[in-house]
Amino acid sequence: MDAARPAIGDAADAMSDDELEQAIAALHARERELLITGDSTAAFGLIGTKFTCWRHSRTAAADQRRTVPRVRKPLSNRDDDTSPE
């Protein structure tokens, strides 16, 4: 899994938000099927893949929030101006 993690991360980076959400949901569904059938080894492998995708989706969301510019009023135009007259 460690060797595949960078490739999975690159694939996750190339996906849109919707594609990434669908991939995570599909991995979760397959993981559940494997656990029900008793194939815990394969299910745990998918957990790692799902976590890598989930982490990339959270990182992308955090990066997007950081790139949104903050709009601040200049100090002279603030409503709470308490300067003496």
User: If you average pLDDT over residues 14-34, what whole number do you get?
Assistant: 90
Distant-in-sequence, close-in-space partners of 49: CB < 8 Å, separation ≥ 6: 1, 4, 8, 27
The CB density around residue 79, as the number of other CB atoms within 10 Å, is 5
**pTM of the entire predicted model:** 0.62
Instruction: Give the pLDDT band of residue 16 (cuts 50, 70, 90).
Output: confident
Most confident among 9-13, 59-63, 64-68 (mean pLDDT): 9-13
> Could you tell me the pLDDT band of residue 13, with boundaries at 50, 70 and 90?
confident
